[in-house]
């Protein structure tokens, strides 16, 4: 029986991000799968496992205890939208600076198009500004005077 879009979405976050199982990337995305939103605002999509794996390695090194909790999902046909909470401690140099050993706790959303048990397309929006602020790399903005 083919897994549902919800099941594939939860499997992706549990196995890839929480367990660090790189082989799941090869199993759940195809050579033509497109991943949007993780290469900057105007960046092209990542296409296939080989294009996705550098991002995977960067975040797993930067946050060795990375945890993504799928808080809720909504399914509409092939599409699964997931609201996620990301936690961890900045313990590695992969993001381009010395580890701060500070905790991060931020949220994001993804929409995955799942067909025949694999991700065909994925759209990502994560609050990386909050992540960088919590790491101490970006200052919090000055609040306007009341």
pLDDT single digits (tens) 129-143: 999 999 999 888 777
pLDDT, mean over the chain? 94
Average pLDDT estimate for 106-110: 98
Give the C-alpha separation, 26 to 145, whole Å. Answer: 51
pLDDT (tens digit per residue) in 27-61: 999 999 999 998 766 789 999 999 999 999 999 99
- Nearest Cα to 12, choosing from 90, 82, 76? 82
Residue 41: its pLDDT value, please? 65
Contact between 103 and 73 (Cβ < 8 Å): no
Label residue 144 by pLDDT band (50, 70, 90).
confident
Q: Where are the domains of the chain?
A: 5-135
Model pTM above 0.75: yes
Q: What percentage of the chain has pLDDT greater than the value 70?
A: 99
Residue 3: its pLDDT value, please? 94
Contact between 8 and 78 (Cβ < 8 Å): no
CATH fold, domain 5-135, is Nuclear Transport Factor 2; Chain: A, (3.10.450)
Residue 141: its pLDDT value, please? 77
141 DSSP assignment:
P
Which of the two residues, 9 and 95, has the higher pLDDT score? 9
pLDDT (tens digit per residue) in 83-93: 999 999 999 99
């Amino acid at each position: 029986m083919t897994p549902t879009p919800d099941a594939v979405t939860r499997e992706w976050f549990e196995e890839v991000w929480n367990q660090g199982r790189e082989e799941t990337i090869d199993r759940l995305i195809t050579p033509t799968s497109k991943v949007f939103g993780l290469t900057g605002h105007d960046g092209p999509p990542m296409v296939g496992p080989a294009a996705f794996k550098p991002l995977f390695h960067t975040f797993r090194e930067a946050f060795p205890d990375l945890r993504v909790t799928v808080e809720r999902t909504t399914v509409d046909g092939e599409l699964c939208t997931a609201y996620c909470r990301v936690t961890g401690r900045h313990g590695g140099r992969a993001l381009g600076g010395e580890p701060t050993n500070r905790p991060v706790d931020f949220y994001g959303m993804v929409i995955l198009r799942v067909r025949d048990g694999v991700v065909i397309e994925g759209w990502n929006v994560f609050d990386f500004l909050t992540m960088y602020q919590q790491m101490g790399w970006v200052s919090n903005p000055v609040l306007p005077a009341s």
